[in-house]
C-alpha cells in the first residue's frame, strides 16, 4: 500500500516550533521565572581586585539592613563536603583545581564571587551588597595575553602536544609563501537570558534546582558531587533556555552558591546574575594570538602549513580548545605542523563558545588562505578546490560523507561569485567600496549517548522523554519531526518532554550533537515501540493481524497496516484496547558503534559575503550572506535554517563588533554591559540565504543527520575579513574589524 504523507505543515521536515506559542506569549517559564512560596533573593558580592586574598570582610552593616536574612562568605559558609575530598562541582574540562566558592580567602580574578547577600526582596539584597566592606591584601596580577606570551606553556593533556605531519615549518622554504599573525579578543557569550538558579531544600539531603543550564544531568551530577547527595535527591529543571552559546555547558560557582545559601537559611533562594557578572562568572571565548605560515607551488598546491596559537586560561584551571585542529584536517597538504600553548592568567576560566576552537582557528586559517590566493594571483575559491582533502589527512580514513565541493558551488552561484572583479578595491556601489569574500570550515560531527522513554497512551498519542535541555535550536520540534516520520503519528499527537533530570538520561546540549544523539535515540525508541506493538497485534486472538509476520506490517498515520491488504489494519490505540492496557512504554538507550574507527565524520560549511565599506567613515555593512552547510540530512528546514542564520549573526558579532575590553592595570573588563559590548542587532543583520546540501550521512547514525550548530559560525569571520580586504585592499588581522582599524 502506498503510505500517504501527512499534509504540508504536519510533516516532520517543516514543522513550526512546537513551543513557539509558549515562547511568544510569555507562557514559557525560564529558570528565573519560577515563583516558589517563601522565595528569597540572593545577590553576589564581587572581588574588586584581581589577585590576592581577603584580609577582612565586614558584613555587619549589611546583615542589619532591612529584609536581609544572611550574608554568607568564607568566614561563615558551611563547608561543601564534595570540595574537601576533591569532588569537583564545576568540573574543569582538562584538569586543574576548581574554584571553591566561599571556601577560602583567596582571590583569583576580578569579579570573583566572595559573598552572597540574601534578603526578602531583590532590591533589598542589591542594596545590602553595597554595605559589605572588604579589605584585601593585593598581589600583582597578570591579565594580558600579549604582555605575557613568554609565559605560554603546553597544556597538560596529551592531545595538545605539537603535531607534525611531514616536515615542520616547511612553508619557510616554499616557492610561494605567506606568514601572518591574527588576534581575536575575549568575546563573551551574552545570551539574552541571564544565568539564574533557584534552589530549595527538602530536609538535609534533598534539593530541587531550577537552573539555566545546557545539561540538566551534568548540573545534577555537579550538585550531587559537591553536596554528597544521591542522584534521586537532586532534581534539576530547565524548562526553557534563553540562549546559551556555551555559557551553560558547565556548572559554575554561582549555582553551588545558590544551593549552599538555600541550605544555610533553609529557604528557597533565587540567584540571578547581573549583566556585568555575565562577563566574569560564566566563561568567555579566550583571547587568542595565532600565526599561520602557508607554502604553495606556483600553481596553487599547498605544500606546507604551520599553525601556532597562544591562548589563555585561569590560574586555577586549565581550559583548552581545538584552535589549531582545523588546520590538520581542512586541506590536503603533505607538511603540516601545529603548536598550541596557553597562559595562566588572573582571570576566571574561559569556556567553549559558539564553535569553540574551530571558529577561532578558522579565522586565522581562512584569512591566511585568502592572503595566499592573492600571493598566487589565484581565485580564493579555486585555491580551496585545488586543495580539497579527499580523505581525512590526519587519520588517512575516508569521510563518512563530504559535500564541501557542492557547498562551494552552490554558495558561489547564490552570491554571484563570477561577478567579482578579483582586484582589491575595484568594485563600488555608490560611494561605498564593495567586496566579496569567502571562508569555509568544518566541525567534528559527533554522536553521544541518550536514553529515551516512549509512552503510547490510550488515546493513541505518544510521549517521549529525555533529560536534555533545549538551549534554543528547537530540540522538542526536531524530535517531534523525527517521531512523526518514524512512528507515523501526526505532530499534534506527539509530546516531547525535556529539561528534567529525573527523566531518562540525555546528553548536555553542546558541540552540535543533540540531533545526532537524541534524534537517533528517538528514532530507535520509536522503532522499538513499533516492534512491541507488532508483537502484541500479531499474537492477540481475534486481532485482524493475528499471525501476520511483523515484517509484513507498516506503520502509517496511526495505523498498523498489512502491506498486502490495506483493509487489514489496527489503529494504535486499539492495540492497547486489545490487551486492556492503559499505556505501553518502551525505554531505549542509544549510542554510536565503531563507525568512528573506520570513517572520519565531519560537518562542513562555506560562507560567502558581500560587504560595503565606507571609505570616509570606515563603517562596514554586510550586504548579503550566503551560507551553505553539509550537515547531513536536514531534519527540520525551518529550525535548521534558523540555526544557520543564528551562526551568521554570531559570526557578524565576532567579525565586526564583539570585544571584551580589559583594563589590565586593574584586571577588570570595562565594557561589561550591552551598551558598550556590542552584539549585532536586527539592523546589523543583512539578507541571509541559509542553504543546505541535505544529503543523509550513511554512517553517523540511523537518521543521517550530522551536527549543525557550530559550523554555522566556523569560517564566517574570515569571510567578512576577506571581503573587507577585497573591498578596500586593507588586511585586518585583529578582530573585530572596527572603523578605526580601516581608517589608519
Ligand atoms: Mo556549544 S559552544 O557546545 O554550546
Interval 242-251: pLDDT, tens: 999 999 999 9
Q: Is 249 in the pocket of ligand 1 (CB under 6 A)?
A: yes
Read off the DSSP letter of residue 11: S
Ligand 1 center to 358 CA (angstroms): 12
pLDDT of residue 92: 44
Q: Is 454 in the pocket of ligand 1 (CB under 6 A)?
A: no
- The position carrying cell 566556523 is 714
- Exposure pattern of 117-135 as b/e (b: 16+ CB <10 Å)? bbbbeeebbebbbebbebe
> In 3D, which of 346, 345, 340 has the Cα closest to residue 360?
340
Q: Is 443 in the pocket of ligand 1 (CB under 6 A)?
A: no
Ligand 1 center to 276 CA (angstroms): 21
How many helices (H) and strands (E) the chain has is answered by 16, 29
- Contact present, 464 and 454 (Cβ < 8 Å): yes
**Closest ligand 1 atom number to CA of residue 245:** 4
**Closest ligand 1 atom number to CA of residue 244:** 4
Ligand 1 center to 203 CA (angstroms): 35
pLDDT of residue 551: 94
Q: How much is the average pLDDT of 338-354?
A: 97
Indicate whether 626 pLDDT > 50.
yes
Q: Which of 188, 190, 249 to mutate to test the pocket of ligand 1 (most atoms within 8 A of CB)?
A: 249
Q: Which of 212, 238, 242, 246 to mutate to test the pocket of ligand 1 (most atoms within 8 A of CB)?
A: 246
Model confidence over 147-161: pLDDT tens digits?
A: 999 999 999 877 788
Ligand 1 center to 513 CA (angstroms): 10
**Closest ligand 1 atom number to CA of residue 248:** 4
Task: Label residue 704 left, alpha or beta by phi (over 0 means left) and psi (-120 to 50 means alpha).
Answer: left
In Å, what is the CA distance from 16 to each residue of 19, 499, 517? 9, 20, 22
pLDDT of residue 4: 55
In Å, what is the CA distance from 597 to each residue of 268, 480, 702? 49, 31, 17
- Contact present, 507 and 448 (Cβ < 8 Å): yes
- Contact present, 510 and 214 (Cβ < 8 Å): yes
Q: Is 354 in the pocket of ligand 1 (CB under 6 A)?
A: yes
Q: Is 511 in the pocket of ligand 1 (CB under 6 A)?
A: yes
SS3 label, residue 300: coil
**Closest ligand 1 atom number to CA of residue 352:** 2
Indicate whether 442 pLDDT > 50.
yes
Q: Is 435 in the pocket of ligand 1 (CB under 6 A)?
A: no
pLDDT of residue 14: 85
Indicate whether 731 pLDDT > 80.
yes
Mean pLDDT of the chain: 95
Cα 230 from chain centroid (whole Å): 29
Task: Label residue 266 left, alpha or beta by phi (over 0 means left) and psi (-120 to 50 means alpha).
Answer: left
Q: Is 352 in the pocket of ligand 1 (CB under 6 A)?
A: yes
d(CA 14, CA 8): 8
Model confidence over 283-319: pLDDT tens digits?
A: 999 999 999 999 999 999 999 999 999 999 999 999 9
pLDDT of residue 263: 97
What pLDDT band is residue 86 in, cutting at 50, 70 and 90? low
Q: How much is the average pLDDT of 213-224?
A: 96
Q: Which of 469, 510, 643, 711 to mutate to test the pocket of ligand 1 (most atoms within 8 A of CB)?
A: 510
Indicate whether 85 pLDDT > 90.
no
> In 3D, which of 199, 220, 222 has the Cα closest to residue 32?
199
Q: Is 113 in the pocket of ligand 1 (CB under 6 A)?
A: no
> In 3D, which of 442, 422, 444, 424 has the Cα closest to residue 433?
424
Q: Which of 352, 357, 508, 708 to mutate to test the pocket of ligand 1 (most atoms within 8 A of CB)?
A: 352
Indicate whether 179 pLDDT > 90.
yes
Q: Is 499 in the pocket of ligand 1 (CB under 6 A)?
A: no
Indicate whether 84 pLDDT > 90.
no
Ligand 1 center to 347 CA (angstroms): 21
What would you measure as the largest C-alpha separation in the chain, in angstroms? 86
pLDDT of residue 6: 67
Q: Is 353 in the pocket of ligand 1 (CB under 6 A)?
A: yes
**Closest ligand 1 atom number to CA of residue 249:** 4
Q: How much is the average pLDDT of 10-20?
A: 86
- Report the predicted TM-score, pTM, of the whole model to 2 decimal places: 0.96
Model confidence over 260-288: pLDDT tens digits?
A: 999 999 999 999 999 999 999 999 999 99
Ligand 1 center to 146 CA (angstroms): 26
**Closest ligand 1 atom number to CA of residue 709:** 1
Ligand 1 center to 352 CA (angstroms): 6
Q: Is 356 in the pocket of ligand 1 (CB under 6 A)?
A: yes
β partners of residue 734: 183
362 phi and psi, to 5 degrees? -65, -30
**Closest ligand 1 atom number to CA of residue 246:** 4
**Closest ligand 1 atom number to CA of residue 247:** 4
Model confidence over 33-43: pLDDT tens digits?
A: 999 999 999 99
What pLDDT band is residue 96 in, cutting at 50, 70 and 90? low
Ligand 1 center to 196 CA (angstroms): 18
Ligand 1 center to 711 CA (angstroms): 11
pLDDT of residue 97: 65
Q: Is 248 in the pocket of ligand 1 (CB under 6 A)?
A: no
Q: Which residues are catalytic?
A: 710
Q: Is 510 in the pocket of ligand 1 (CB under 6 A)?
A: yes
pLDDT of residue 87: 46
pLDDT of residue 94: 45
Q: How much is the average pLDDT of 432-454?
A: 98
Q: Helix axis angle, 637-656 relative to 358-376, nearest 10°?
A: 70
- The position carrying cell 567579482 is 420
Q: Which residue has the higher pLDDT, 652 or 97?
A: 652
d(CA 283, CA 506): 23
The rounded percent of the chain whose pLDDT value lies above 90 is: 93
In Å, what is the CA distance from 680 to each residue of 250, 464, 658? 25, 36, 9
Read off the DSSP letter of residue 167: S
Query: Quick one: cell of 224?
Result: 550531587
3-state secondary structure labels for all residues of 188-240: CCCCCCCCEEEEEECCCCCEEEEECCCCHHHHHHHHHHHHCCCHHHEEEECCE
Ligand 1: residue whose CA is nearest its atom 4: 246
**What pairing do the DSSP bridges indicate for beta strands 559-562 and 565-571?**
antiparallel
d(CA 549, CA 528): 16
Model confidence over 112-148: pLDDT tens digits?
A: 999 999 999 999 999 999 999 999 999 999 999 999 9
Q: What angle do CA 23, 29, 30 make, to 5 degrees?
A: 95
Quick one: which H or E segment has residue 79? none
Q: How much is the average pLDDT of 722-733?
A: 98
Query: Quick one: cell of 503?
Result: 527523566
- CA Rg value for the chain: 27
Model confidence over 665-689: pLDDT tens digits?
A: 999 999 999 999 999 999 999 989 9
**What pairing do the DSSP bridges indicate for beta strands 494-497 and 462-465?**
parallel
**Closest ligand 1 atom number to CA of residue 355:** 2
pLDDT of residue 82: 86
> In 3D, which of 475, 473, 513 has the Cα closest to residue 496?
475
**Which is it for the CA torsion 341, 345, 351, 354, positive or negative?**
negative
Read off the DSSP letter of residue 156: S
Find all residues with CB under 8 Å of 405, minimum gap 6, and list them: 385, 388
Q: Is 282 in the pocket of ligand 1 (CB under 6 A)?
A: no
Q: Which of 195, 238, 443, 511 to mutate to test the pocket of ligand 1 (most atoms within 8 A of CB)?
A: 511
pLDDT of residue 641: 96
β partners of residue 571: 559
Per DSSP, the residues of 399-468 read BS---HHHHHHHHHHHHTGGG--SSTT-EEETTEEEEEEEEEEEEE-----EEEEEEEETTS-EEEE-B-
CA torsion, ordered 71, 75, 80, 86, to nearest 10 deg: 140
**Contacts by 422-428, CB closer than 8 A, 24 or more apart:** 422/377, 422/379, 424/374, 424/725, 424/726, 424/727, 424/728, 424/729, 425/727, 425/728, 425/729, 427/726, 427/727
Ligand 1 center to 119 CA (angstroms): 34
Read off the DSSP letter of residue 683: G
Ligand 1 center to 398 CA (angstroms): 27
Ligand 1 center to 36 CA (angstroms): 31
Amino acid at each position: 500500500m502506498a503510505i500517504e504523507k501527512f499534509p504540508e505543515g504536519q510533516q516532520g521536515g517543516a514543522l513550526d516550533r512546537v513551543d513557539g506559542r509558549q515562547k511568544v506569549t510569555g507562557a514559557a517559564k525560564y529558570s528565573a521565572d519560577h515563583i516558589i512560596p517563601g522565595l528569597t533573593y540572593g545577590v553576589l558580592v564581587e572581588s574588586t581586585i584581581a589577585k590576592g586574598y581577603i584580609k577582612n570582610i565586614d558584613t555587619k552593616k549589611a546583615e542589619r539592613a532591612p529584609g536581609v536574612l544572611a550574608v554568607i562568605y568564607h568566614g561563615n559558609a558551611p563547608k561543601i563536603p564534595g570540595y574537601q575530598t576533591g569532588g569537583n562541582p564545576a568540573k574543569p574540562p582538562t584538569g586543574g583545581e576548581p574554584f571553591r566558592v566561599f571556601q577560602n580567602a583567596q582571590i583569583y580574578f576580578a569579579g570573583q564571587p566572595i559573598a552572597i547577600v540574601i534578603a526578602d526582596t531583590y532590591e533589598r539584597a542589591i542594596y545590602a551588597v553595597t554595605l559589605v566592606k572588604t579589605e584585601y591584601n593585593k598581589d600583582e596580577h597578570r591579565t594580558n595575553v600579549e604582555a605575557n606570551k613568554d609565559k605560554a606553556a603546553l597544556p597538560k593533556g596529551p592531545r595538545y602536544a605539537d603535531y607534525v605531519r611531514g616536515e615542520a615549518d616547511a612553508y619557510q622554504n616554499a616557492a610561494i609563501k605567506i606568514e601572518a599573525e591574527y588576534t581575536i579578543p575575549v568575546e563573551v557569550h551574552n545570551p539574552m537570558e541571564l544565568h539564574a538558579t533557584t534552589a530549595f531544600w527538602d530536609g538535609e539531603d534533598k534539593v530541587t534546582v531550577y537552573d539555566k543550564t545546557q545539561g540538566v544531568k551534568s548540573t545534577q551530577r555537579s550538585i550531587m558531587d559537591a553536596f554528597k547527595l544521591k542522584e534521586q535527591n537532586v532534581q534539576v529543571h530547565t524548562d526553557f533556555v534563553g540562549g546559551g552559546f556555551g555559557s551553560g555547558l558547565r556548572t559554575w560557582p554561582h549555582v553551588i552558591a545558590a544551593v549552599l545559601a538555600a541550605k544555610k537559611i533553609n529557604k528557597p533562594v533565587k540567584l540571578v546574575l547581573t549583566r556585568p557578572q555575565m562577563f566574569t562568572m560564566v566563561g568567555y571565548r579566550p583571547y587568542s594570538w595565532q600565526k599561520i605560515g602557508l607554502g604553495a607551488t606556483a600553481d596553487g598546491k599547498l605544500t606546507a602549513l604551520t599553525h601556532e596559537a597562544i591562548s589563555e586560561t585561569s590560574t586555577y584551571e586549565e581550559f583548552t580548545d581545538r584552535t589549531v585542529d582545523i588546520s590538520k584536517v581542512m586541506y590536503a597538504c603533505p607538511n603540516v605542523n601545529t603548536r598550541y600553548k596557553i597562559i595562566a592568567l588572573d582571570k576566571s576560566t574561559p569556556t567553549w563558545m559558539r564553535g569553540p576552537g574551530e571558529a577561532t582557528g578558522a579565522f586565522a586559517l581562512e584569512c591566511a588562505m585568502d592572503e595566499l590566493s592573492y600571493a598566487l594571483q589565484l581565485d580564493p575559491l579555486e585555491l580551496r578546490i585545488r586543495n580539497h582533502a579527499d580523505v581525512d589527512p590526519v587519520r588517512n580514513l575516508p569521510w563518512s560523507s563530504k559535500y564541501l565541493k557542492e557547498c562551494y558551488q552552490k554558495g558561489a552561484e547564490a552570491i554571484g561569485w563570477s561577478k567579482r572583479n578579483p582586484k582589491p578595491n575595484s568594485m563600488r556601489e555608490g560611494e561605498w567600496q564593495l567586496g566579496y569574500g569567502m571562508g569555509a570550515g568544518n566541525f567534528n560531527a559527533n554522536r553521544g549517548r541518550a536514553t529515551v522513554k516512549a509512552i503510547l497512551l490510550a488515546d493513541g498519542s505518544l510521549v517521549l522523554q529525555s533529560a536534555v535541555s533545549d538551549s534554543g535550536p528547537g530540540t522538542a520540534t526536531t524530535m517531534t519531526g523525527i517521531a512523526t516520520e518514524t512512528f507515523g503519528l501526526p505532530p499534534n499527537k506527539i509530546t516531547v518532554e525535556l529539561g528534567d533530570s529525573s527523566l531518562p538520561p540525555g546528553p548536555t546540549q553542546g558541540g552540535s550533537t543533540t540531533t545526532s544523539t537524541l534524534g537517533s535515540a528517538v528514532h530507535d525508541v520509536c522503532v522499538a515501540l513499533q516492534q512491541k506493538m507488532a508483537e502484541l497485534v500479531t499474537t492477540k486472538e481475534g486481532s485482524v493481524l493475528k499471525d501476520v509476520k511483523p515484517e509484513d506490517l507498516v506503520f502509517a498515520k496511526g495505523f498498523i497496516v498489512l502491506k498486502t491488504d490495506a483493509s487489514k489494519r489496527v489503529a494504535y490505540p486499539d492495540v492497547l484496547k486489545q490487551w486492556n492496557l492503559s499505556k505501553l512504554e518502551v525505554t531505549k538507550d542509544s549510542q554510536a558503534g565503531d563507525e568512528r574507527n573506520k570513517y572520519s565524520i565531519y560537518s562542513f560549511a562555506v560562507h560567502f559575503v558581500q560587504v560595503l565599506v565606507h571609505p570616509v567613515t570606515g563603517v562596514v555593512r554586510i550586504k548579503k550572506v550566503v551560507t551553505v552547510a553539509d550537515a547531513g540530512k536536514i531534519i527540520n528546514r525551518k529550525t535548521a535554517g534558523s540555526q544557520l542564520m543564528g551562526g551568521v549573526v554570531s559570526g557578524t558579532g565576532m567579525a565586526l563588533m564583539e570585544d571584551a575590553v580589559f583594563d589590565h592595570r586593574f584586571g577588570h573588563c570595562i565594557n561589561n554591559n550591552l551598551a558598550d559590548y556590542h552584539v549585532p542587532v536586527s539592523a546589523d543583520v543583512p539578507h541571509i540565504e541559509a542553504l543546505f546540501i541535505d544529503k543523509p550521512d550513511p554512517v553517523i547514525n540511523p537518521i543521517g543527520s550530522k551536527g549543525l550548530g557550530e559550523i554555522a559560525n566556523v569560517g564566517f569571520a574570515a569571510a567578512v575579513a576577506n571581503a573587507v580586504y577585497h573591498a578596500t585592499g586593507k588586511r585586518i588581522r585583529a578582530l573585530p574589524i572596527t572603523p578605526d582599524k580601516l581608517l589608519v
